[in-house]
Amino acid sequence: MAERREEKYLITLSEYSKISSRLKQLLTPDKNGIDGKYSICSLYFDDPFDTALIEKEDGNPVHIKFRIRTYNGEKKIIKLERKTKRGIVTEKHSAMLTEEELDKILSNESIDENSECFGLVSEMRTKAFRPVVSVKYNREAYVMPSLGIRVTFDTMIDSLPPEKDSLFGANLPVRPSLPRNEVIMEIKYSQRCPAFIRRSCKAFGLQLSVSKYALCRKGELK
């Protein structure tokens, strides 16, 4: 996958309301959601030394995360992803999983060498990665594919146990990892963010380097 840039901002619900209203006039709601809205659950992996977490907290400019992601608690799309980040530049490699492959990954069973996910799973196991936390949140997304622009708003960010049920279950116990009156806004673009997007997304929120993964891990480790 081609590289892209990601900028994160912590904004208030009031700012979110103003910015999303502007974006609705300029961008198109993500077609994969209802009016651009859907839920995401990601099961994150880390090694026995919590390297991914520590590198993020230490401000390491280069870090890698592995996760399994589902949407709206459904089984029709299950993705294994490796996300590499260098500053604000990110690159993702992903593979679709069957439920059987998901079960094998979580139980540390062998994966067919012809499977789409074999390479990523092999890398995870070489580094002794294991499930550490699930992160669930609601997302509202707006896009302009012709310019490679994507703006997302994430709310209700919760941590759940690092288990299969967290990816698909409803009404499971959760631990809030961000105050309910705060929103994480992400501006994503290929090479340059157009000025009209910057004007539309102008806010007084803080630019963030922290990830949802780190927020939820720190909450679980307390």
Contact by Cβ (8 Å): 65, 120: no
Taking the C-alpha atoms of residue 212 and residue 178, their distance in angstroms, rounded to an integer, is 9
Taking the C-alpha atoms of residue 97 and residue 103, their distance in angstroms, rounded to an integer, is 10
Contact by Cβ (8 Å): 62, 84: yes
Domain of 32, CATH number, reads 3.20.100.30
**Contacts with 128 (C-beta within 8 Å, 6 or more apart), sequence order:** 47, 48
The backbone torsions φ and ψ at residue 94, rounded to the nearest 5 degrees and listed phi first, read -140, 160
SS3 assignment, position 49? coil
Write the pLDDT tens digit of every residue in 65-93: 999 999 999 999 999 999 998 888 999 99
- The distance between the two most distant Cα atoms of the chain, rounded to a whole number of Å, is 50
Our count of domains for the chain comes to 1
Q: What is the pLDDT along the chain (222 residues), one digit of tens a residue?
A: 567 899 999 999 999 999 999 999 999 999 989 999 999 999 999 999 999 898 888 777 788 999 999 999 999 999 999 999 888 899 999 999 999 999 999 999 999 999 999 999 999 999 999 999 999 999 999 999 988 999 999 999 999 999 999 999 877 888 999 999 999 999 999 888 889 998 998 876 777 777 899 889 876 655
What predicted TM-score, i.e. pTM, was given to this entire model?
Answer: 0.93
Structure tokens at 165: 């049920």
- Which domain, by its residues, includes 47? 4-221
